[in-house]
Amino acid sequence: MAGGYCLSKSQRHKCPGIQMSDGCLGTDCFCCVPDTNLCINKPACTNTNGTCLEKAYWTDCNYEVDSSLCVGNACACCREKKCARSAECEDQGGYCFRRRKNPSRQHVCHGSEIPSGCGGPECFCCIPDPGRSR
């Protein structure tokens, strides 16, 4: 599906791209996907009826983007969760994200944020800087 191949965990250094824990049979192997530009759904994205989008298409998502649920550079899962994009956010070309308790999983908005612009107190609207959105 994504052009990957299986390697043993001891061969991690031989993978030139994305390393995925699922996709191969066995306990001592992983799937190596050489093309880091592909957006691949993790099961948590698929299980919430989401789909992974490239960064250029995040502003097309009417719900929440979550970059922790996809594999690939600048990819995020568009999934119906707690956030829903308001008309104000959509009119300004924004997309929704949720504040995380774990800072390492927090989405970084490269632009301006509209608090509660996506239907809830923990949901923010990110209006990307014009030069960075597409």
- Claim to verify: residue 83 and residue 103 sit in the same structural domain: yes
Residue 33 near residue 71, CB atoms below 8 Å: yes
Residue 115: predicted pLDDT? 81
- Claim to verify: residue 25 and residue 54 sit in the same structural domain: no
Looking up tokens 């600048």 gives 74
Locate 93 and state its tokens: 């070309």
Domain count, the chain: 2
86 falls within a domain = yes
Residue 77: predicted pLDDT? 92
90 falls within a domain = yes
Residue 90: predicted pLDDT? 92
Residue 97 near residue 107, CB atoms below 8 Å: yes
Residue 133: predicted pLDDT? 43
> Could you give the 3-state DSSP secondary structure of residue 22?
coil
What is the residue-wise DSSP string for 74-99? TEEEEE-SS----HHHHHTT-EEEE-
- Claim to verify: residue 120 and residue 72 sit in the same structural domain: yes
Per-residue pLDDT in tens (0 to 9) along the chain, 134 residues: 567 789 898 988 888 777 877 778 888 988 887 766 778 888 888 888 899 999 889 999 999 999 888 878 788 999 987 788 999 999 999 999 988 887 777 788 889 998 878 987 889 999 998 765 44
- Claim to verify: residue 98 and residue 73 sit in the same structural domain: yes
- Claim to verify: residue 49 and residue 114 sit in the same structural domain: yes
- Claim to verify: residue 45 and residue 30 sit in the same structural domain: no
Alpha helices per DSSP H over 5-57: 43-46
133 falls within a domain = no
Domain that holds residue 66: 40-128
Structure pTM? 0.66
